[in-house]
Structure 1
Amino acid sequence: MIEALPAPLTLFFSALISSTLLPGGSEALLAWLLNQNQHSAWTLWLAATSGNVLGSLLTWGMGYWIARRYPLKTLDKPGHQRARDWLQKYGPASLLLAWLPLVGDPLCLVAGWLRFNFLLSLVMITLGKALRYALIVGLFS
């Protein structure tokens, strides 16, 4: 008989999937788990944040890998050029917005494609996502 994964581990995987190019709902799961009062808010916050950051780093890595096959000069559409210019203007600081729905995942992908500094990218992604999950913890615990 297969037992269910512990709630923090389930939240970790939900957050990881949510931060790749696949859809997910880790925020709703975090809020629900907080209301169950079976795990500390700290444990749940850490599980959600670490899973979400890891997913964004995987997306960043995909962008880094893609850049080897498709150099930036292939971005010839005006919208692509504007996005590239905006990201190059703000650099890794733009990854503070990696938590945003719809645009966060592509930000991480393009940041890898632009070969943003990995450590700065990690710090900015982590800061933005940690603050978002802290807000959810604050609202629901």
Structure 2
Amino acid sequence: MLSLFLVALASATVLPGGSEAWLARQWCLGEPPLALWGVATLGNTLGSLINVALGRYARNFQGRRWFPVSVSALVRGERWYARLGAWSLLLSWAPLVGDALTMLAGVMRLPWWRASLLILIAKGVRYAVLLWLAGRWLAPLC
């Protein structure tokens, strides 16, 4: 279970990871689905909150020449975020855009409680669906 937590946490940050495959592996090994859901959801949520923290911290370096995001890209992101707002974090589970959304939430200084709640919902639903799919399609292969 600790390995699933660590893989799920790393997968939610800018590090590469494959929590879905690890979750399926643990499921095939007979781990309790509710425990798998809780551990994966918690790990992945905490990983996304690391991205939120990085976004908050990165804003301090906005004027530096080496800052990885141009002013125009940041303005575009802020406009987009103003339109969709915090609700965009319900897509934090999505590959590629999820990391950017969580970092943007940090840049925009979304309150921690709101970011945590929306990310937790998104990640929880994602892993519930993955476990349902594992039970439906993966069972004959295990």
Question: Where on the TM-score scale, by shorter chain, does this alignment land: which range?
Answer: 0.7 to 0.9
- Contact preservation (8 Å) 1:16, 1:53: yes
Q: C-alpha deviations, 1:93-117, integer Å up to 9, x for none?
A: 1100111101111111111011012
Superposed displacement of residue 76, structure 1: 2.9
Superposed displacement of residue 33, structure 1: 1.2
Superposed displacement of residue 90, structure 1: 1.8
Superposed displacement of residue 89, structure 1: 1.7
Q: C-alpha deviations, 1:57-112, integer Å up to 9, x for none?
A: 011001111112216xx8532x5433321112222111001111011111111110
Aligned to 1:13: 6
CA distance, structure 2, for counterparts of residue 58 and residue 23 of structure 1: 14
Percent of aligned positions with the same letter in both sequences? 38
CA distance, structure 1, for counterparts of residue 103 and residue 76 of structure 2: 16
Say yes or no: does 1:76 pair with 2:71: yes
CA distance, structure 2, for counterparts of residue 12 and residue 20 of structure 1: 13
Give aligned pairs, total: 130
The unaligned stretches of length 5 or more in structure 1 are 1-7
CA distance, structure 2, for counterparts of residue 48 and residue 96 of structure 1: 17
**TM-score, with normalisation over the residues of structure 1?**
0.86
Say yes or no: does 1:26 pair with 2:26: no
SS at match of 2:125: helix
- Contact preservation (8 Å) 1:92, 1:117: no
CA distance, structure 2, for counterparts of residue 103 and residue 61 of structure 1: 17
Aligned to 2:140: none
Q: Which one-letter code corresponds to 2:112 in the other structure?
A: F
- Contact preservation (8 Å) 1:17, 1:24: yes
Q: Which one-letter code corresponds to 2:57 in the other structure?
A: W
- Contact preservation (8 Å) 1:48, 1:133: yes
The unaligned stretches of length 5 or more in structure 2 are 64-68, 136-142
CA distance, structure 2, for counterparts of residue 88 and residue 122 of structure 1: 19
Aligned to 1:119: 113
Of 104, 122, 128 in structure 2, the residue corresponding to residue 128 of structure 1 is 122
